[in-house]
A and B are shown apart, each in its own frame.
Chain A
Amino acid sequence: MATATAPTPRAALPGVLRHPVARKLLLLAAAAAVLVPLADAHWSSGTWPKALTVDLTGPLTRTGDWIIDHRDSHPLFLHFLGHISNAVVFCVRAVYLLLLAAGWAGVTAAATALAWRAAGKRLALGTAAAFLACGALGMWVPTMQTLALMAVAVLASVAVGVVLGLAAGLSARLDRVLRPVLDTMQVLPAFAYLLPVVLVFGIGVPAAVLATVVYAAPPMARLTALGLRGADKEVLEAVDSLGATARQRLLTARIPLARRELLLGLNQTIMMALSMAVIASVIGAGGLGDRVYQALASVDVGAALAAGIPIVLLAVVLDRVTAAAGDTTGRTTGTGRGHRAYTAYAVGAAVAVAVAGRLAGRPDWPGSWTVAVAAPVNDAVGWMTGHLYSGVPVIGGTADWAGRFTTWVLDPLRDGLQGLPWWAVLLLVAAVAWPIGTWRTALTAVLALAATGVLGVWEPSLDTLSQVLAAVAVTLVLGFATGVAAARGDRFERLLRPVLDVFQTMPQFVYLIPVVALFGVGRAPAVAAAVVYALPAVVRITAQGLRQVDPAALESARSLGATPAQQLRQVQLPLARPALLLAVNQGVVLVLAVVVIGGLVGGGALGYDAVFGLAQGDLATGLVAGAAIVCLGLMLDRVTQPTERRTKKGA
């Protein structure tokens, strides 16, 4: 589009119209002036018109029943889906048995050796410590179950991702088709993926693995395509001139050149697989996620944390090791024999430890070596809720805050949105989306929101939307403030970094109970959990964006005598605008993901419908809610679409 004639502002236009935003809004107003009376006359204003909804309850219920009745007889299940399901079970089982056979000593040694070869000594030590901590918390077997499930899911995701990525990287047409799909899949809340797989595969490990693959494969595909497309043209020409065949060119030039992107893709796939493997405990994935879920059922935050810590440790270790592997590959290739010898030592040592562990007769983690963390944690949580919940002098307790937040922010916002005529809400979305993005993103956003109306969940969708908006507002205020502070003070940032790491990798479930204890049941705790979850990403992107501002620009501002506040307001913030927009976009996406899970703590609306669908096996309600969540996610993403999307999700 860059070559199209740029619309040159004509002298005849009044000054305001030269501004592109004003022009877009004016056009929109003109369109509205024509369409709104039409719509009003046809369907009346107020809430979403009945005439425009499609009731899917009947067909969806029949589909669900048909699947249950034919699962053991229809060829589609017997000869296709059944094999997939069996293959998943077989693979997970094989990996699980292998891990158990290696014993705790063997697994720890192997992981340490792997981390050493891939990422150096310090991370190797960290890896060993993390695995031993999993054992010490009494979580060895669940950790292995999660690892087995993840290993299979990650392998499958990588396979699927690489195939899709190759296709998109080599064919421009496929790229055009796949890119919007993959972009969209990356912003959807994990929760929305659970229902369709449950419908087909039933509760259990196969469904969990497949949901994980669907969730974790897109980043691999996107980054593979990106790497292949970004390969240096000159190198490729050189390869061509040597007379290489297309296949040789791919294998010897394009793929090796895309190595960094491939490893980054692997890193993201692993992180997303881990987060999904935890959420998938709702559909019977077992492992660590299930322990968190079970502990929360008895309001046992301590026990939930004991299972949550291994997840965080695994996440941090996997993230750091794969990231370091991506950074070092460029340098260490070709160190030759010494490199290989070390690898051989590492493998040998790991095998020796595993055998020794077996001979010592201790493949299982010894029960007496576990540390109980649950009791002290529960005491701490109990004290906090006991003293902060209400009756704190002057500022009031957390419950009072929650009540006020609900009455003064959430209620007016929800009632306002639901009280607006339906076309006004759509117009509002268009008016926000168009100036930020293109007419295409604006149209997608409007259609996505309209789709929730068509699905017959207009009111709950707006309820969820109001919670998202409130949470995003809070997140942005806190996140920008913290981000600015982190960008200005190095020490503060160093202190903040591990905290952000932990908060970002913690499974969302673990947040839910403390927020109930502090804020009661309802929408306020859902919003609070969402804020806590989305905050780290916003802080991090803001701080990064501010730090990357051209030092020359800052220097010149300083030399002109600008105060620090002026520098921030007039130089840093405007220059970091793309990063800030990205922060908004990420904040919105992450907030939606948790507000939906907030259905578990009384958030109501779409999240509750999705939970209800899963819990009651009522797929009509659940799938419609899931689809509406997808639409909302699409709408929110498009409205805040930044000019260039970062490749990383959440981190």
Chain B
Amino acid sequence: MRLRTTAVAGTLLLLTGCGAADMTRQASPFAHARGARTVTLSVQSWVGAQANVAVAQYLLEHELGYRVDTVQIDEVPAWDALSQGRVDAILEDWGHPDQEKRYVDDKKTIARGGALGVTGHIGWYVPTYLVKQHPDITDWKNLNAYASLFRTAESGGKGQLMDGSPSYVTNDKALVDNLKLDYQVVFAGSEAAQITQIRQFAKEKKPFLTYWYAPQWLFEKVPMTEVKLPAHKEGCDADPAKVACAYPRTPLQKYLNADFSKQGGEAAAFLKKFAWTTEDQNEVSLMIADQKLTPQEAAKKWADGHASTWKAWLP
């Protein structure tokens, strides 16, 4: 036993070498198995991101002969993993200026991969059936009057503003404070939990107010209307504690690992060209999340119908 351990330890030492070992340049152990060319893509937890990855994966595998690994990582850690080369690409980023400055501009370990073609927007939403009963509910100034409608066991005596995953960009606590709203922010803790709760509310036509974002497939299932917050102006969200304005509209971006961007061959070229529309993304998202197709089946279905779109992405 001891002999074997010593031998294993010795071999390891020999194999890793005795010099410096830079763990910021280290691929996933599951990559490039058996000589296959592999790409590791980061999937974020929302379905739109799954749709991007599913289609990219399908085309990489079937058109370019790669093997694709996917790993689910939250947004900020994904930047870190990307800079270390543990994933090769993020296909949908909602804007992280701090990370962008650190990794793209300063350390140069991440390269910009161009726009995804989809514009993202975060906001507060109420179900459309509620707007039909109370047309003036879509202005934030009237929210306090309706606070009692949104009361739940979790929100105490106030109205409930449901937030989602802790990984998402949000100013909601500051907004509630600064706009002096009689609301309590309740974090669902994950998008899955939030969606489940929204659908339960919608089935019974109960009122709810939620943090939500577009493009999102759930709008097709539960029609929702945005509540107008004070208009967004450049720089109004600079100080996180003093935010009192709406969220911006963000053109979603792709990012590649810097080395992969240079040496990634066809896969890198393909991912840089990959860009589609909100409708395309929603089509795939709906198939995955609502019709419960596997991401691969959904991607195949979409690819079969949109050959002209994706032919342009091939290198």
Binding site for B on A (CB under 8 A): 68, 71-72, 77-79, 81-83, 85-93, 96-97, 100-101, 145, 148, 159, 198, 201-206, 281, 283-284, 286, 290, 293-294, 296-300, 302-303, 374-375, 378, 385-386, 389-391, 399, 402-403, 406-407, 411, 512-513, 516-517, 520-525, 598-604, 607-608, 611-612, 614-618
A513-B16 contact in complex given A286-B69, A294-B43, C-beta closer than 8 Å = no
A399 surroundings in chain B (CB, below 8 A): 200
Contacting chain A: which of B27-35, B58-66, B240-248, B252-260?
B27-35
Contact of B26 among A89, A402, A600, A616 (CB under 8 A): A89
A205/B76 in contact, CB under 8 A: no
B22/A72 in contact, CB under 8 A: yes
Is residue B102 contacting chain A, with contact meaning CB distance below 8 A?
yes
**A79 vs chain B, min Cβ distance (A):** 6
- The complex places the Cα of A297 from the Cα of B21 at a distance, in Å, of 35
B72/A290 in contact, CB under 8 A: yes
Among B29, B194, B292, the most chain A Cβ lie within 10 Å of the Cβ of B29
B196/A513 in contact, CB under 8 A: yes
Is residue B312 contacting chain A, with contact meaning CB distance below 8 A?
no
B200/A389 in contact, CB under 8 A: yes
- The complex places the Cα of A299 from the Cα of B285 at a distance, in Å, of 13
B190 surroundings in chain A (CB, below 8 A): 296-297, 512, 600-601
- The complex places the Cα of A87 from the Cα of B16 at a distance, in Å, of 7
- The complex places the Cα of A612 from the Cα of B26 at a distance, in Å, of 26
A294/B33 in contact, CB under 8 A: no
A516-B197 contact in complex given A79-B20, A299-B289, A616-B166, C-beta closer than 8 Å = yes
Is residue B204 contacting chain A, with contact meaning CB distance below 8 A?
yes
- CB closest chain-A residue, reference B156: A411
| Secondary structure call for the A interface | helix
B154 surroundings in chain A (CB, below 8 A): 406, 521-523, 602
B191 surroundings in chain A (CB, below 8 A): 297
Contact of A90 among B15, B70, B152 (CB under 8 A): B15
A614 surroundings in chain B (CB, below 8 A): 74, 77
A93 surroundings in chain B (CB, below 8 A): 29-30
A203-B200 contact in complex given A81-B23, A299-B289, C-beta closer than 8 Å = no
**A546 vs chain B, min Cβ distance (A):** 37
- The complex places the Cα of A213 from the Cα of B107 at a distance, in Å, of 32
B78 surroundings in chain A (CB, below 8 A): 203
B292/A374 in contact, CB under 8 A: yes
A82/B186 in contact, CB under 8 A: no
Is residue B188 contacting chain A, with contact meaning CB distance below 8 A?
yes
- The complex places the Cα of A297 from the Cα of B189 at a distance, in Å, of 11
11 pairs, A vs B, C-beta closer than 8 Å: A82-B22, A96-B30, A159-B5, A202-B86, A204-B28, A296-B190, A390-B204, A523-B154, A604-B187, A608-B189, A617-B77
B200/A517 in contact, CB under 8 A: yes
Closest 10 CB pairs of A and B: A615-B167, A82-B21, A93-B29, A612-B166, A78-B20, A617-B76, A406-B153, A85-B23, A615-B74, A297-B45
B24 surroundings in chain A (CB, below 8 A): 71-72, 202
Is residue B314 contacting chain A, with contact meaning CB distance below 8 A?
no
The interface size of chain B toward A, counting residues with CB under 8 Å, comes to 65
A523 surroundings in chain B (CB, below 8 A): 154
- The complex places the Cα of A88 from the Cα of B12 at a distance, in Å, of 10
B47/A297 in contact, CB under 8 A: yes
**A65 vs chain B, min Cβ distance (A):** 9
B29 surroundings in chain A (CB, below 8 A): 88-90, 92-93, 96, 148, 205
Binding site for A on B (CB under 8 A): 5, 12, 15-16, 20-30, 33-34, 43, 45-47, 50, 69-81, 84, 86, 102, 152-154, 156, 162, 165-167, 186-197, 200, 203-204, 288-289, 292, 294
A601 surroundings in chain B (CB, below 8 A): 188-190, 193
B33 surroundings in chain A (CB, below 8 A): 96-97, 100
Contact of B187 among A87, A148, A402, A608 (CB under 8 A): A608
Instruction: Kindly list 12 other residue pairs between chains A and B, CB separation below 8 angstroms, not including A72-B22, A202-B77.
Output: A77-B22, A82-B20, A100-B33, A204-B28, A281-B72, A284-B77, A284-B81, A284-B86, A411-B156, A516-B192, A614-B77, A616-B166
Contact of A77 among B23, B70, B86, B196 (CB under 8 A): B23
B34/A599 in contact, CB under 8 A: no
A391 surroundings in chain B (CB, below 8 A): 204
**A118 vs chain B, min Cβ distance (A):** 17
A302/B292 in contact, CB under 8 A: yes
**A84 vs chain B, min Cβ distance (A):** 8
**B155 vs chain A, min Cβ distance (A):** 9
A86/B23 in contact, CB under 8 A: yes
A202/B81 in contact, CB under 8 A: yes
A299/B196 in contact, CB under 8 A: yes
Contact of B192 among A68, A100, A296, A407 (CB under 8 A): A296
**B192 vs chain A, min Cβ distance (A):** 5
**B52 vs chain A, min Cβ distance (A):** 14
**B79 vs chain A, min Cβ distance (A):** 8
A411 surroundings in chain B (CB, below 8 A): 153, 156
- The complex places the Cα of A77 from the Cα of B20 at a distance, in Å, of 9
B34 surroundings in chain A (CB, below 8 A): 97, 100-101
B186 surroundings in chain A (CB, below 8 A): 521-522, 602, 604
